[in-house]
Chains A and B, each alone.
Chain A
Amino acid sequence: MNAPLPSARFRAEREADWRRLEALLDRAEKRSAAALDEEELLALPTLYRATISALSVARETSLDRALIEYLEGLSTRAYFFLYGVRGRIGPRLLAFFRRDWPAAMRALWRETIASALLLLAGTIAGYALVASDPGWFPAMVSGDLAQGRGPEATTQMLRDVLYGGGHGRHLDGLEMLATFLFTHNAQMALLCFALGFLLAVPSSLLLVANGLTLGAFLALYAGRGLAGDLIGWLSVHGTTELFAIVVAGAAGIRIGWAVAFPGRLSRLDSMAEAGRLSGTAMAGVVVMLFVAALLEGFVRQLVTVETLRYVIGVTMLCVWLAYFYGTPRKPA
């Protein structure tokens, strides 16, 4: 038997470490980092560094390609485990609510104002159009959203919807309605965000269209002297829901802006940066829509006193504003 090659000796001396790293990664990836005990967690970076330095030595001294490929694969896996997504979902959620979400909202303040203005412009236009000619109404409100509320509906019918009286259809199916509206609105908001990269044009259009629908309803109810009741009815969940849609629009506008005016970064990097920021805001939007759906489905149908509805709506708005813009700025 020949004396073993130096590179084979090199491998034999370190193989146990590599196997151990591999086994640890297997276990940690299967569940999460929680699957490892403290000692193993501490061993992981050490083993990774030993492996990666073995790789650079092997590249210089060994011609065993299978070994180098194995080490590259193992190092890559360990690298992405150590430098990749953090394992525990709990602390990450906590960080999201405590820091990331308000920070993303603050970073988006300009877009948020622009988006709110677009929605407002849509609302005013919708109101003006339907007030001058009710024939505009079906053009702005789709059938399944109107649910029979239209210029042809009687004032009594419209009032019933607001206060859940009469045939009681809405009281009956309120949780169904809430879920339907939640999924519908969340899908709308996601669309607002996802279409942003087309220079924010579709996002802006969606915001205006949303405003038109709102304005059309307002004009319809105002025509029957029910404007105050409608605003009360809407404000229970509307402040939260419209805010969420405004934020989704803002996220879309931010991306569109980053594509159009990338500044010092390349267009691609600029978009990626805006995308990550907006992604955080979007996760928040889903939470807000969920809250809105709860308010809409349950609170609104149960609370039929108008002033109380106003109070809830305004309180919710204040809570969101205080949470987003009022929390002390912590360094990231």
Chain B
Amino acid sequence: MSRRLPVEVKRVRMLVTPEGVSLPLDLADAGQRMGAFLLDLLILGGIFIAFTLLMLLASLVVGKPLAFRAAWVMWLAGAFFLRNFYFTLFEARPRGRTPGKRALGLRVIARHGGRLTLDAVIARNAMREVEFFLPLTFLAMSGGKDEPEGWAILCGILWSAIFLFMPLMNRDRLRAGDLLAGTWVIRAPRRPLLPELADTAEDLSFTGEELDAYGVYELETLETVIRQAHAPAVATVTASIARRIRREHWSDEGGPRDLAFLQAYYAGLRGRLEQKLLFGKRRADKHAPS
């Protein structure tokens, strides 16, 4: 892909399904990845603290040394499983997302859209050990001593910085774990099915000449304007359309009248353009010959 493309296009990868239909996949950017990870860390930290308190409380209530030891064992084992399997367990489910990713509308998939396997999920999350937890342990260890070893802390910071900024250093926004496991993280926000605009359009007929004023690009912009129904925008767009097709329209400054006019024009324009589309002619925008 060329480097000149706009950012939104550069992050889109085309997946061709076995049915031969291409689906655009929107790669998550570094900020979203970071946000999801921080959320997961907060959740992880919360569970960890709650778990620790629970174990402490349980051993205090029972009050016997044996209970205390049992709680300690469960704490060690629990902390280990939490640290190593929190991400794996969530990502290995059909949703392919941890709570943090879910909140940001991200999910993990196999690169190029293949089947995401359990081993890939294990591999990508085992790498978190070196990417994040290892430098953390490093810092905690150095900080705990009377005399923190400056070079050790520096190495730890450098080490984690390499991994931290790794997603910024490649086009697919891969972190080391994604690289190793062959996975992508994509944005998969849920899109609701919006109401059909043409169905509720008023009966207002336009001549062929009037409908030939615009192309697909303008149609899609018009669709956005109608759906957002932001009064100043509606008023501006109504005025410019009325001017271009030389039609008298008594504007009410972006109110229901303008909106109804736009909707009617939208339905007419779409019908016209779709009809041409059936004959194999796609008019990209108003500058293209009609």
Tell me whether A and B are bound partners. yes
Q: Is the CB of B191 within 8 A of A69?
A: yes
Asked if B198 CB lies within 8 Å of chain A CBs, one says: yes
Since A64-B196, A64-B223, A180-B76 are in contact, a sample of 19 more A-B pairs with Cβ atoms closer than 8 Å, ordered by chain A residue number, is A5-B198, A52-B19, A56-B21, A61-B274, A61-B277, A63-B220, A63-B277, A64-B197, A64-B270, A75-B17, A75-B21, A83-B114, A84-B115, A84-B116, A190-B126, A268-B179, A272-B120, A272-B181, A276-B123
For residue B79, give the distance in angstroms from its CB to the closest CB of chain A: 8
Residues of B near A255 (CB, < 8 A) are 180
Q: Is the CB of A8 within 8 A of B199?
A: yes
**In this complex, which of A6, A15, A275 has the most chain B Cβ atoms within 10 angstroms of its Cβ?**
A275
Report the contact-size class of chain A (Cβ under 8 Å from the partner). 35 or more
Residues of A near B127 (CB, < 8 A) are 194
Q: Is the CB of B72 within 8 A of A176?
A: yes
Asked if A253 CB lies within 8 Å of chain B CBs, one says: no
Mark the stretch among A27-35, A121-129, A130-138 that contacts chain B: A27-35
Query: Using an 8 Å CB-CB cutoff, how does the interface string of A297-319 with B read, 1 for contact, 0 for none?
Result: 00000000000000000000000
Ordered by A's residue number, 15 sampled pairs between the chains whose C-beta atoms are within 8 Å are A63-B216, A69-B191, A70-B194, A75-B23, A76-B25, A80-B116, A85-B92, A96-B118, A176-B69, A190-B129, A197-B180, A271-B180, A272-B180, A278-B123, A282-B123
Q: Is the CB of A272 within 8 A of B111?
A: yes
**In this complex, which of A55, A76, A96 has the most chain B Cβ atoms within 10 angstroms of its Cβ?**
A76
Residues in B lying within 8 Å of A, measured CB to CB? 15, 17-21, 23-25, 69-70, 72-73, 76-77, 79-80, 84, 92-96, 107, 109, 111, 113-124, 126-127, 129-130, 134, 176, 179-182, 188-194, 196-199, 201, 203, 205, 216, 219-220, 223, 227, 267, 270-271, 273-274, 277-278
Mark the stretch among A181-189, A208-216, A234-242 that contacts chain B: A181-189
**In this complex, which of B113, B122, B126, B271 has the most chain A Cβ atoms within 10 angstroms of its Cβ?**
B126
Q: Is the CB of A85 within 8 A of B203?
A: no
Residues of B near A160 (CB, < 8 A) are none
Are A28 and B94 CB-contacts (below 8 A) given A70-B191, A272-B179?
Answer: yes
| B176 nearest CB neighbor, chain A only | A197
For residue A83, give the distance in angstroms from its CB to the closest CB of chain B: 6
For residue B280, give the distance in angstroms from its CB to the closest CB of chain A: 10
| A93 nearest CB neighbor, chain B only | B118
Residues in A lying within 8 Å of B, measured CB to CB? 1-2, 4-8, 11-12, 15, 18-19, 28-29, 32-33, 49, 52-53, 55-56, 60-67, 69-70, 72-77, 79-81, 83-85, 87, 89, 92, 96, 100, 104, 173, 175-176, 178-180, 182-183, 186-187, 190-191, 193-195, 197, 255, 268-269, 271-273, 275-280, 282-283, 286
Q: Is the CB of B278 within 8 A of A275?
A: no
8 closest A-B pairs (Cβ-Cβ)? Answer: A272-B182, A279-B123, A279-B119, A275-B180, A73-B191, A279-B122, A280-B119, A194-B130
For residue A259, give the distance in angstroms from its CB to the closest CB of chain B: 10
A280 to B116, CA, bound (A): 13
Q: Which of A87, A279, A283 contacts B181 (CB 8 A)?
A: A279
Q: Is the CB of A279 within 8 A of B126?
A: yes
Q: Which of B72, B77, B189 contacts A183 (CB 8 A)?
A: B77
Residues of A near B120 (CB, < 8 A) are 272, 275-276, 279
Residues of A near B70 (CB, < 8 A) are 175
Are A176 and B179 CB-contacts (below 8 A) given A56-B21, A183-B80?
Answer: no
